[in-house]
């Protein structure tokens, strides 16, 4: 029996574990894929206070080490369900079951990808998902943004102030983002919008060198030499296994406010899996602290 089961070992989940452990609670952290979460794919982290410049993988490794030193049990297991029996939660993974007095869901949201050959190998080596995080690395270089919604247009606008040239590749014949953003982007001399085209290939083995785009109407293909690509076609939250215990919005995010509580007493949510406007390491860490302290208070009052 653990005091708290944390589902997800990204910055939000690991921060939750750290705060709970320092409050003298027993904690198990369950992660299905990568200890550290999405930040491990970022080649550099420069906007997290107090750390200077380090890779996302270095940041994640330090956080994992810190949590383990405090006494957390960290397991590489995929959680398939959570149920509540009385005041005790049962967390079922593909391998075993855990019991806990409280649960913190910090499963994050994965970036939607194109599903092309070599795509995953080039993440962090020319393929990025966050202009705020990685845009500065492409100063005075040529990049492409894939997508035509608000997120893609905002990414492109930010990159247009940094980069020599920005291509925006949209599969539809029009941009789907706000008209205000579209007009602002169209006014930029260093931005070229390519409509009715899809990316069909990423060229480069160890580092991205170019992309091949295909016109959806004429099927004509052309190669564009670039230094980096920012994929902005949406996020996929990882909350399906908990839909019976927490409210989800229409996009699948946990419908919880800044207090990180849910409709099930004893379950809290933290990080990118929660409905929020800003998804950065700093906001994930903030959620982790809030959720952990709320869980600790719940346990102290309930048990």
Q: Per-residue confidence at 254, pLDDT binned at 50, 70, 90?
A: very high
pLDDT digits (tens, 9 = 90+) for 162-178: 999 999 999 999 999 88
Write down the residue that tokens 């293909």 correspond to.
221
* Percent share of the chain, pLDDT over 90: 79
How confident is the model over 180-187, as a mean pLDDT? 93
Q: Per-residue confidence at 16, pLDDT binned at 50, 70, 90?
A: very high
H or E element in which residue 287 lies: helix 281-302
What CATH number should be reported for the domain whose range is 120-231? 3.50.50.60
How confident is the model over 80-98, as a mean pLDDT? 95
Distance between CA atoms of residues 8 and 34, nearest Å = 9
* Percent share of the chain, pLDDT over 70: 99
How confident is the model over 237-253, as a mean pLDDT? 93
Q: How far apart are the first and last CA of the chain?
A: 13
Neighbours of 94 (CB within 10 A): 9
CA-wise closest residue to 171 among 195, 201, 144, 193: 195
> 81: phi > 0 → left, psi -120 to 50 → alpha, else beta; which?
beta
Residue-level pLDDT at 39: 81
Q: Strands 79-85 and 88-93: what pairing?
A: antiparallel
- Helices 281-302 and 11-22, interaxial angle, to 10°? 40
Q: Which residue has the higher pLDDT, 171 or 47?
A: 171
CA atoms within 13 Å, Cβ hemisphere of 62: 8
Fold of 2-111+235-302: FAD/NAD(P)-binding domain (3.50.50)
Distance between CA atoms of residues 173 and 145, nearest Å = 16
Q: Per-residue confidence at 226, pLDDT binned at 50, 70, 90?
A: very high
Distance between CA atoms of residues 1 and 118, nearest Å = 43
Write down the residue that tokens 């004429």 correspond to.
218
Specify burial of residue 240 (Cβ count, 10 A radius: 0-12, 13-18, 19+).
exposed
Residue-level pLDDT at 43: 67
CA-wise closest residue to 282 among 66, 71, 51: 51
Specify burial of residue 14 (Cβ count, 10 A radius: 0-12, 13-18, 19+).
buried
Task: Reply yes or no on whether the pLDDT at 2 is more than 90.
Answer: yes
Q: Per-residue confidence at 55, pLDDT binned at 50, 70, 90?
A: confident
- Output phi, psi for 136, to 5 deg: -65, -25
8 A C-beta contact, residue 130 and residue 232:
no
Q: What residue spans in the chain does CATH classification 3.50.50.60 cover?
A: 2-111+235-302, 120-231
């Amino acid at each position: 029996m653990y005091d708290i089961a944390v589902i997800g070992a990204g910055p939000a989940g690991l921060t939750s574990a750290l705060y709970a452990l320092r409050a003298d609670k027993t904690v198990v952290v369950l992660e299905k894929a990568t200890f550290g979460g999405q930040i491990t794919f970022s080649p550099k982290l420069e906007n997290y206070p107090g750390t200077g410049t380090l890779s996302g993988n270095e940041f994640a490794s330090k956080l994992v080490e810190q949590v383990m030193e405090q006494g957390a049990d960290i397991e590489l297991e995929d959680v398939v369900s959570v149920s509540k029996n009385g005041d005790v939660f049962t967390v079922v993974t593909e391998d075993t079951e855990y019991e806990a007095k409280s649960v913190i869901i910090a499963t994050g949201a994965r970036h939607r990808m194109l599903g092309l050959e070599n795509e995953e190998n080039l993440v962090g080596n020319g393929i990025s998902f966050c202009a705020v995080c990685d845009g500065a690395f492409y100063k005075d270089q040529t990049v492409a943004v894939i997508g035509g919604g608000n997120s893609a247009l905002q990414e492109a606008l930010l990159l247009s102030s940094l980069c020599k040239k920005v291509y925006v590749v949209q599969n539809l014949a029009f941009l789907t983002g706000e008209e205000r953003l579209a007009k602002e982007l169209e006014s930029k001399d260093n931005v070229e919008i390519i409509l009715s085209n899809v990316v069909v290939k990423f060229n480069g083995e160890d580092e991205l060198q170019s992309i091949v785009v295909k016109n959806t109407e004429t099927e004509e293909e052309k190669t564009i030499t670039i230094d980096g690509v920012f994929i902005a076609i949406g996020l996929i939250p990882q909350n399906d296994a908990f839909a019976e215990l927490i409210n989800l919005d229409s996009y699948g995010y946990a419908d919880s406010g800044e207090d990180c509580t849910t409709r099930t007493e004893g379950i809290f949510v933290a990080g990118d899996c929660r409905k929020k406007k800003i998804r950065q390491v700093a906001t994930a860490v903030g959620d982790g602290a809030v959720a952990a302290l709320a869980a600790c208070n719940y346990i102290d009052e309930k048990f």
